[in-house]
Structure 1
Amino acid sequence: MQKLPSFLDFVTSNRIVISPFVRIAFDSVRGYHVLLHARAPSDIDDSRLAGTSRREIPANFPLVSIPKEALLSASSSSICNVLPEDEITSTAGLILAFMIERALGSQSPWAAYINLMPLCEASCVRYWPKEMLDGLEGSDVLDIFRAAESALEDMYRSIVMPFFVKNELVIRQLLGHVESRTSEWDDLISYDTFTGAASVVAARCFEIDSFIGFALCPVADLFNHSDREQVHFESLYEVCEYCGASNGCEHESAKLLQTLIESSETGSPDTAEQSDSETDKSMPDLSDSGSDSGSDSGSDMSSSNPDSNDSCEIVTNEAIKLPKMSIFEGKEIYNSYGPLSNAHLLVKYGFALRGNVNNYLLLDRQVRQCYRKYNILWNSTDSTTDLQNPVELKVDYCGRVNVHLWDRIAQLAQILVKEPIPSHKSLQRFNIKPNTVKRTRINITIVKLILEILHDREIRYTDPDVSSIFYEYLIQDLPTTADSTAIQKQFTAIIFADEKQMLERAINRCKIFLGPDNL
C-alpha cells in the first residue's frame, strides 16, 4: 500500500482521470482493486450527470479515462526503435518492452506504475508446487497450461533471445551494463525473467488499437474480473496505422489524395474535373502540415472533448446504485476479462470463480478418440468446423452441446447409420428440452455417441466415481485465507466441482432424450 501514493502522483502527472465515484484499495487477498466510493452526484461537477438520479452512477459513464500516451506499449517504450516492426503491436513486443522498462528502474517513465506489479503472477498454475499441479490431473487446466507453456518456450526461442543477441550492445548501454557480461544482464535475459514478465503482461494487457496493439493500461488493469461485471473497457480501435491518430492526419489525407489522383487518371474528363474540385474543397495543404500542425489539432480536440478518442476508458455497463449510508462504501467494482472458462482463468490470471457462467468443458480429445474407435478418418467428413481448435468442441455450464460438437458427431453418425443429418432444430430442442427431440435413428445415434464421449471424458479423472457434490462440500469446508496452499486447494476444488457438474448435466440431458429403452 505504501507504493500507492507514488502511483497516484504518476496518475496525476499523466492526466489520468479517476472519477470521485471510485477509489483504489489494497488487501492481501485481492491485491490492488477498485471500490465504489459513495458520493452524491450533486457533489461532483460533471455535466454528464445532469438529469440523472442523485443516488446512482448513470450507464455509459466513464469511471476512468487514460490518455493513450500514458500507456506502456512497445511503440512508446525505450526500445521502440530497435524492436522488429512486426513485433511492435504484438504481445511479444510488449513483454520485451516491459522487461526493459522494469530493468531501467527509476529511470523508466512508468517506474511508479511498474512498482505496483509483482515480479511474476505467483497465483498462476505455472508457479504452483508440483504436488498441487499434479492434483489437477484430468482437468482441462493441465491441457491449457501445457499448450501455453509450449507457446512461451517457442516465443522465447524464436523472438526474445534473437532480439537480445542482436541488440545486446544497445540494450546494455541503455541499462548501463557497460561491461562485457554482468550477472544483471544474464538475469535479465533468462527464461525465468521472461516467463515472470510474460505472466504479468498476460494478466494486465489490453488490446488498444490498430497502431498500438497491446499495452499495459494504468488503473484500468486494477479492476478485478467477474462474469457479472458492472464496467467494461473502451478504446477506438480504427486509427491511423502510421501515427495512431483517430481524427484525421496527414497520412489519411495523403492516402485520400492518392486515391483521388488515381481515380482522375483512370476516369473520364468529367470525373477528373470532379475529383479536382473535391480535392480543392476537402484536402488540406500538405505543404504546411507537420508535427506542429498535428499537435495543435490534437490539443484542440482534447481540450474541447473530454471523451476524446485519444483516450481509453473504463465505462459503466448500466446504472450503479449508490449506497445510502457511508458504512457501505467498499463495494468492489468489476470488469470482465472476457467469456473465459475457469481453466483459462486459472492458467492466465491465477484464479477461478465458483459458478462461472462462462465455463465449458473441452471434448476435442474424446471426439477424436471416438472417430478412431469406429475406424473413421478425422478428415473424412465434409466438416465446416475448425477441427484444429479444441475450444470449438465443448459442452457449456448448463451441459448444453455446442453446434460444432453436434455437427462433428452428426457427421460420424451419418457414416454409421447411412441417414441424412438432421437440421439444427434437433440440437436447439436437445439443449432446451431434450425429451421433445424426435427419436429418429440418426438422432438416437448422435446422442448415444455424445453420451459415449462424455463417459470417456469422465474416466480421465483420477476419481471418476466422485460427484460434484463432494467438491461442493469440500469448498465449503476449506478455510478462506491468504495462504497460498489453501487458495490453491480452493481453486482446485472449484475446477473439479464445475467440470464434474457440467458432465453430470450433459449426461443427464442425454439420458432424458434416450429414455430407459435406449440406454
Structure 2
Amino acid sequence: MASRRMRAFKRWMKSKGFQWCDALEFVDTPEEGIKVRALCELKEGDVVAKMPKEACLTTKTSGAREIIEEAGLDGHLGLAFAIMYERSLSGDSPWAGYLQLLPFQECVPICWTLDEVDELLCGTELHQTVQEDKALIYEDWKENILPLLEVAPSKLNPKFFGIEQYFAAKSLISSRSFEIDDYHGFGMVPLADLFNHKTGAEDVHFTAMSSNYESDTDVDGCNNDEGIVEEEALAQNSSIDMTVLNTANVENCVVSDIESSLVSEGDTSMLEMIMIKNVSGGVEVFNTYGLLGNAALLHRYGFTEQDNSYDIVNIDMELVIQWCSTAFSDRHCRARVSLWRRLGYSACGIQNSEYFEISFDGEPQIELLNLLQIMLLPDTAYHRLDLSVSVSGNCHESNGASTTLLNDNIIPNKAFDMSKKSLLPKNVCGALLSLADMRESLYGSKSIEDDIEALGRCSLVREKKLYHSLMLRINERKVLQKLRNYASQPFKVTNQSLPRKKLKRTTKKSS
C-alpha cells in the first residue's frame, strides 16, 4: 500500500497533468526511502512518464520570479531562493503536494557540521572540497539572500530564508535538479527525481526537448560552470517509438497505444522518461547521474557504492614536493619542476591547486611518472636535458614514440604504454611507494582493516554519514594498495585504465 505522502503526491501529479504508466510502482519505505519498481516487463523505447515543464519548480515558474529577476539571482542561487520561497508558502504553494514528499535536506556533506566534515572526511578527496564549498555557500547567502530579508521584511518570513534553509535547498538542487531547457534552465522535476542512481546501469533516460520561448526579458537560467554537477538532458527529438504503457490490467501487462488524450510526439511543453533497455518485472528501475566515483557521488548525492570502478585518488603536487624535499634541496625541487613544465607537462587542476590522478587500477597519471623521473635524473643527465630544451626552445611533444631517451635515462611521454612497467627505474617505483605511504597517512592512525571492521558494525539506516564516509575512505585506500602493487611488481602486465569522470578539485562560486 502506498504511503500517505505518496498518495498525496500522486493526487498532486494528476492535478498538474503528469502522466505515468501503471506498470511503475512507487515504493516508499522508512529504511530505503523512495524507489521506482517495474510491475511487469518494460521495453526499450517505452515512454514511461511525462512531466509538464510548467509543473516543474524553476525560477520561471515560481511565485518568487519577480523577486529573483529584480535581485539578479540566476542559476542555482535563484533556484535555491525559489525552493525556499515555495516552502515558506506551506500548503498555499502550487508545489505543496511535491514539496511534502521531499526531505528537508539531503545527506550531502555540505549539510554536515564542520566537526563532522573534519572527523568523517579527513584524508579523503572530499575533505578540503567540502570545507571550501561550505564557506562559499555561506558567502553566497550572506551577499545575496540576507539583503533581501532586510529590504523586504513584510514579504519574506526570515525563518524560511536562513542559512540552514539555504544549505538545505542547495542540497536538494545538488541531488535532484535537472536541466530542462534554455528558458527554464535547471529546475526541480517531480517524478523524474524518484528514480534512483546506479553507476553504469541506466534503465531510463530523462529527455528534455528544447523550447521556443521568446521574450525580451527572459534570460538563460542555466549555469554549467557551477561546482555541483547536473544531469544531462537530451535536447533533441527522440527517434524511437513513443509508446506509453497504459496498463489497465497490470497483472497481464497489457500495453496499449498512445491515446489521443495524451500529448503528441515532439510536444516541447513536456519532459519524458524513456526506457533505454528492457527491464524485467519486479526489479527497480534506475536512472544514472553519470559515471562517477564515490567522492563525486557522496559530494553531490549523499551516497556511495561498494567497489565503485570509477574511484580515483589524487596525489597533490604539494605532496610530491614534500617527498622531493626529504631527499633533495629546495633548489633541486624547483629546478626539476621547472624543467618538467618547460617540457610541456602539467598536472590536473589549476596553478595553485595541482594534483595527479591514481586510477581505480592503481595506475599513476603519466605526468606524475614524468615528474618523478626528472626529479631523480642524475645531475649530468639533468643538465644535458635542460640545455637541450633551452637551445631548442621547443616543448616536448609526443611523436608516437613510447619514450624519450637521454643518456640511457628513460622519460615516458603521453604515448607510454602503462602495461610496460618494466621500463620504470627502481627509484621511480620507490618514489611511488613513498608517495602512497604519505597519502595514506592523511587518513590518520587507523588502518584500512580498522575501517573495514568499523563499516561492518555500521548501520546504513541509522549512521548514514559514518557509513558512506567509511565506504569512501576504504575504497580510496584500496586504490592506494593497488598503487603499491603497481610499484612493487614492475614486470606484471596490467590492462590500461579507461578514462574516468572525476570530482574536480577546483571550487567555484556556487551561485
Aligned to 1:98: 83
Aligned to 1:220: 192
**Would the aligned equivalents of 2:87 and 2:160 in 1 still touch at CA under 8 Å?**
no
CA deviation vs aligned residue, 1:282-338 (integer Å, no higher than 9, x gap) = xxxxxxxxxxxxxxxxxxx9966245343222222321123xxxxxx3x32222222
Q: 1:148 to 1:231 in 2, by over 3 A?
A: farther
Find out whether 1:482 has 2:472 as its counterpart. Answer: no
Which one of the candidate residues 349, 359, 367 is aligned to 2:311? 359
Aligned partner of residue 44 in structure 2, secondary structure = coil
Question: 2: CA distance between counterparts of 1:367 and 1:302?
Answer: 64
Residues 3-152 of structure 1: pairs in structure 2 closer than 5 A: 3-38=5-40, 56-84=41-69, 90-122=75-107, 124=109, 126-127=111-112, 130=115, 134-152=119-137
Q: 1:6 to 1:78 in 2, by over 3 A?
A: same
**Would the aligned equivalents of 1:233 and 1:312 in 2 still touch at CA under 8 Å?**
no
Residues 423-462 of structure 1: pairs in structure 2 closer than 5 A: 423-426=413-416, 429-430=417-418, 433=419, 436-439=420-423, 447-462=429-444
Aligned to 1:376: 334
**Would the aligned equivalents of 2:200 and 2:291 in 1 still touch at CA under 8 Å?**
no
The amino acid of 1:221's aligned partner reads D
Alignment coverage as a number of residue pairs: 406
Aligned to 2:363: 400
CA deviation vs aligned residue, 1:208-251 (integer Å, no higher than 9, x gap) = 2222211001011111222143334433475447459xxxxxxx
Question: 2: CA distance between counterparts of 1:65 and 1:79?
Answer: 25
Q: 1:478 to 1:60 in 2, by over 3 A?
A: farther
Question: 2: CA distance between counterparts of 1:391 and 1:315?
Answer: 40
**Would the aligned equivalents of 2:109 and 2:302 in 1 still touch at CA under 8 Å?**
yes
Question: 2: CA distance between counterparts of 1:489 and 1:304?
Answer: 46
The amino acid of 1:311's aligned partner reads M
Residues 75-474 of structure 1: pairs in structure 2 closer than 5 A: 75-84=60-69, 90-122=75-107, 124=109, 126-127=111-112, 130=115, 134-166=119-151, 168=152, 172-173=154-155, 185-236=157-208, 238-240=210-212, 242=214, 305-306=264-265, 308-322=267-281, 329=282, 331-364=283-316, 365-367=318-320, 369-370=322-323, 374-376=332-334, 381=341, 382-383=344-345, 385-388=347-350, 393-401=356-364, 405-411=365-371, 413-414=373-374, 416-417=376-377, 418=382, 420=404, 421-426=411-416, 429-430=417-418, 433=419, 436-439=420-423, 447-463=429-445, 466-467=447-448, 469-474=449-454
Question: 1: CA distance between counterparts of 2:148 and 2:129?
Answer: 27
Q: CA deviation at 1:371?
A: 6.7
Aligned to 1:282: none
Question: 1: CA distance between counterparts of 2:481 and 2:375?
Answer: 28
Q: CA deviation at 1:134?
A: 1.1
Aligned partner of residue 336 in structure 1, secondary structure = coil
**Would the aligned equivalents of 2:293 and 2:311 in 1 still touch at CA under 8 Å?**
yes
Aligned to 2:483: 506
Q: 1:447 to 1:314 in 2, by over 3 A?
A: farther
Structure 1 gaps of 5+ residues are 39-55, 176-184, 245-300, 323-328
The amino acid of 1:406's aligned partner reads I
Question: 2: CA distance between counterparts of 1:105 and 1:111?
Answer: 6
Aligned partner of residue 51 in structure 2, secondary structure = strand
Question: 1: CA distance between counterparts of 2:123 and 2:142?
Answer: 29
Structure 1 or 2: more helix by fraction? 1
Question: 2: CA distance between counterparts of 1:10 and 1:411?
Answer: 59
Q: 1:239 to 1:123 in 2, by over 3 A?
A: closer
Aligned to 2:227: none
CA deviation vs aligned residue, 1:124-145 (integer Å, no higher than 9, x gap) = 4633694685143222232232
Q: CA deviation at 1:89?
A: 5.0
RMSD (Å), alpha carbons: 3.3
CA deviation vs aligned residue, 1:234-270 (integer Å, no higher than 9, x gap) = 33475447459xxxxxxxxxxxxxxxxxxxxxxxxxx
**Would the aligned equivalents of 1:232 and 1:335 in 2 still touch at CA under 8 Å?**
yes
**Would the aligned equivalents of 1:362 and 1:391 in 2 still touch at CA under 8 Å?**
no
Aligned partner of residue 61 in structure 2, secondary structure = coil
**Would the aligned equivalents of 1:207 and 1:215 in 2 still touch at CA under 8 Å?**
yes
Q: Percent identity?
A: 19
Q: CA deviation at 1:61?
A: 2.6
CA deviation vs aligned residue, 1:473-512 (integer Å, no higher than 9, x gap) = 543x3254632x3x33332331222111111012211221
Question: 1: CA distance between counterparts of 2:338 and 2:45?
Answer: 47
Moved more, 19-28 or 368-377: 368-377
CA deviation vs aligned residue, 1:48-91 (integer Å, no higher than 9, x gap) = xxxxxxxx322233222212111100111112123248956511
The amino acid of 2:304's aligned partner reads A
